[in-house]
Chain A
């Protein structure tokens, strides 16, 4: 036996390293997400190394610059043709860069930017021990009403961690509508949910209520994401892959190579139907559609109002983006199965949200139920299953998110001794005391109600038109009826503000800093522009409305 032969018994030659292909990542096309996530990490470092006195300014600066830069990157990519002809799948099949993804990322970034303005507002709460304070707890870890909390307030602490948390959430939301495999979908879901759970718990006033809201949101959110994950496992079992394109091919039966294991699981429709239903359920939880809406009013009411506005606007955009992609790219072959179910969900969501909202006495809960009703209207567009369906949903999401942000920003202004005066009875006669604020809020309510010349009308019209063309006329009829029901309680608030006597001990309207004023002004501007001249933006959404597979 020669020495070399003996040697070969002990070892085997390793394959040359060069055989492992390095993954090809298109950093330029992923730059919006990368910018936001790196800014969030910078924000964490700011918390660690910058002195407490200057942290607030550093955090606001980092967040605003990062969001603006990421938005510029999105516009650059869209101008480079990635939204239309050059749309493709980046990062080894994990992330799609196409029209809907870029459009929704742009909306999320603008919403996030405006939300950061409202987060940074420090003039509404009265000064505590000579320090300006924002709507977030002085120290989240201190027990409400304890000595440590008083000490933290006296020392002028503020929770500047909200800015990196918001950036992490925005980073996850950017990936969510662009995710092109189920694993990326799940990771993005958790990346944007976990910071939101924390943000909910950080209110300065009514802290126990805020913590309660966070516990409810967290437990129900974790429950829903466990369902999503099991659904992903079943879909993986069905198709042998988590890639959207492969699953779609297996569903269609157009897959090329079928090994015996796949041939076995492909025939098992239970895996596909249960798996698809569970994944869709997790997404419907995030958009707050009716059987899965229970968390919405409590969380919207308990969370700090700037966070509520951010959550209501941006989460809905991201989750509807992911839902659209899932239904239009992965499960179009299954539409005869999911359309009847989604019909039912849309109907109960529209009617349920509108009817229960009538009984509400708290303005934040009222807006929460109104957001449920709006989720139903958007679902009507999702069900349309035609190109107009995609573009009308995109337009509706853009219009709705700015109205929501503006409305919640107005809610932060109306205050009494206990913080924000959210009970509706306290809003009586607001129009006589501060006509401007009441008029602005009335514009937002009219937009929610879908009155012509506001963005709400253009959005609703587009969605219902698409649904009618897609053969969902009964859905449109029910949508119009529930719009009428919803209009009743929006108009009721307007009547309450303008036509009832102000109470002597009623709330005062705080004068905000330019930050919140900018947020509200942007909300009004977008509402009116999209209402008066929607065509350009409808065309934009129409051009962006093609998914890449």
Chain B
């Protein structure tokens, strides 16, 4: 199987994630879309790793997973604290500072 197809898939997933970040309203869903983008990056890393025949890309995929996990911890803490104070996780409601 040609590794290039995996790159197309990675680019597709990344685009779906980016579109989701831009059009969804719920902060949790937006965040899930960011995670989808990170996973698309992982797929690209692993596919390139196979293409080049070196292990760097696979090692980086592990780093990405750890970073994504840390990001989930911080992100959910922030989103949950905002949700508890205003009973809404919609990013459109967060407009106290609009000019």
A contacts, CB < 8 Å to B: 140-141, 143-145, 183, 186-187, 190, 194, 197-198, 201, 207-209, 211-216, 218-219, 222-223, 226-227, 229-230, 232-234, 236-237, 240-242, 259, 261-262, 265, 297-298, 301-302, 359-360, 365
Do B84 and A240 touch (CB < 8 A)? no
A145 to B87, CA, bound (A): 13
Do B38 and A186 touch (CB < 8 A)? no
**Contact pick for B91, options A208, A209, A219, CB 8 Å:** A219
- Interface SS of chain B: helix, strand, loop or mixed? helix
Query: Which residues of B lie under 8 Å from residue A233 when comparing CB positions?
Result: 10, 41, 44-45, 48, 57
Can you list, as one digit per residue, whether each of B1-12 has a CB less than 8 Å from chain A (1) or not (0)?
A: 000000100100
A234 to B67, CA, bound (A): 19
Do B17 and A218 touch (CB < 8 A)? no
Given contacts A190-B71, A241-B56, contact A209 B44 (CB under 8 A): no
Do A140 and B67 touch (CB < 8 A)? no
Question: How many whole Å from A536's CB to the nearest CB in chain B?
Answer: 41
Given contacts A233-B41, A233-B44, contact A265 B51 (CB under 8 A): yes
Q: Taking each of A198, A211, A214, A302, which has the highest tally of chain B beta carbons within 10 Å of its own beta carbon?
A: A211
Do A242 and B56 touch (CB < 8 A)? yes
**Contact pick for A211, options B10, B34, B56, B85, CB 8 Å:** B85
Do A222 and B31 touch (CB < 8 A)? yes
Question: How many whole Å from A143's CB to the nearest CB in chain B?
Answer: 5
Do A201 and B81 touch (CB < 8 A)? yes
A365 to B97, CA, bound (A): 10
Asked if B79 is at the interface of the complex by the 8 Å CB criterion, the answer is yes
Asked if B23 is at the interface of the complex by the 8 Å CB criterion, the answer is no
Query: Which residues of B lie under 8 Å from residue A213 when comparing CB positions?
Result: 97
Do B34 and A234 touch (CB < 8 A)? no
Query: Which residues of B lie under 8 Å from residue A215 when comparing CB positions?
Result: 27, 78-79, 82, 91, 94
Question: How many whole Å from A543's CB to the nearest CB in chain B?
Answer: 35
- Known A183-B60, A262-B52; further 18 A-B contacts with Cβ < 8 A: A183-B59, A186-B63, A186-B67, A197-B74, A201-B81, A207-B85, A208-B86, A211-B81, A212-B96, A215-B91, A219-B91, A222-B34, A226-B14, A227-B18, A236-B60, A240-B48, A265-B52, A297-B97
A187 to B31, CA, bound (A): 19
Name the 6 nearest CB pairs between A and B, nearest first.
Answer: A226-B37, A237-B48, A233-B44, A240-B52, A229-B41, A212-B94
Query: Which residues of B lie under 8 Å from residue A234 when comparing CB positions?
Result: 44
A379 to B43, CA, bound (A): 34
Do B78 and A211 touch (CB < 8 A)? yes
A232 to B99, CA, bound (A): 36
A236 to B99, CA, bound (A): 41
Query: Which residues of A lie under 8 Å from residue B74 when comparing CB positions?
Result: 194, 197-198, 218
Query: Which residues of A lie under 8 Å from residue B60 when comparing CB positions?
Result: 183, 232, 236, 242
Do A230 and B85 touch (CB < 8 A)? no
A214 to B76, CA, bound (A): 11
A143 to B87, CA, bound (A): 11
Q: Which residue of A lies closest to B50 (CB)?
A: A261
Query: Which residues of A lie under 8 Å from residue B47 when comparing CB positions?
Result: 237
Do A194 and B14 touch (CB < 8 A)? no
Do B71 and A222 touch (CB < 8 A)? yes
Do B84 and A261 touch (CB < 8 A)? no
A233 to B48, CA, bound (A): 8
Q: Which residue of B lies closest to A207 (CB)?
A: B85
Question: How many whole Å from B50's CB to the nearest CB in chain A?
Answer: 9
Query: Which residues of A lie under 8 Å from residue B77 when comparing CB positions?
Result: 198
A214 to B74, CA, bound (A): 10
Q: Which residue of A lies closest to B44 (CB)?
A: A233
A186 to B17, CA, bound (A): 19
Question: How many whole Å from A147's CB to the nearest CB in chain B?
Answer: 13
A240 to B57, CA, bound (A): 9
Query: Which residues of A lie under 8 Å from residue B10 when comparing CB positions?
Result: 233
Question: How many whole Å from B70's CB to the nearest CB in chain A?
Answer: 6
Do A230 and B44 touch (CB < 8 A)? yes
**Contact pick for A226, options B17, B57, B78, B99, CB 8 Å:** B17
Q: Which residue of B lies closest to A181 (CB)?
A: B56
Query: Which residues of B lie under 8 Å from residue A216 when comparing CB positions?
Result: 91, 94
Query: Which residues of A lie under 8 Å from residue B70 when comparing CB positions?
Result: 190, 194
B residues 22-62 with Cβ under 8 Å of A? 27, 30-31, 34, 37-38, 40-41, 44-45, 47-48, 51-54, 56-57, 59-60
A198 to B75, CA, bound (A): 9
Q: Which residue of B lies closest to A201 (CB)?
A: B78
Q: Which residue of A lies closest to B48 (CB)?
A: A237
**Contact pick for B75, options A141, A218, A230, CB 8 Å:** A218
Question: How many whole Å from A367's CB to the nearest CB in chain B?
Answer: 14
Query: Which residues of B lie under 8 Å from residue A183 when comparing CB positions?
Result: 59-60, 63
Do B97 and A237 touch (CB < 8 A)? no
**Contact pick for A236, options B34, B57, B63, CB 8 Å:** B57
Given contacts A208-B96, A222-B71, A230-B44, contact A198 B64 (CB under 8 A): no
* Interchain residue pairs with CB less than 8 A apart (16): A143-B84, A186-B63, A212-B97, A218-B75, A222-B75, A226-B17, A227-B18, A233-B10, A233-B41, A236-B45, A236-B60, A237-B51, A240-B52, A261-B51, A262-B52, A297-B97
A297 to B59, CA, bound (A): 37
Do A219 and B85 touch (CB < 8 A)? no
Do B71 and A236 touch (CB < 8 A)? no
Query: Which residues of B lie under 8 Å from residue A141 when comparing CB positions?
Result: 81
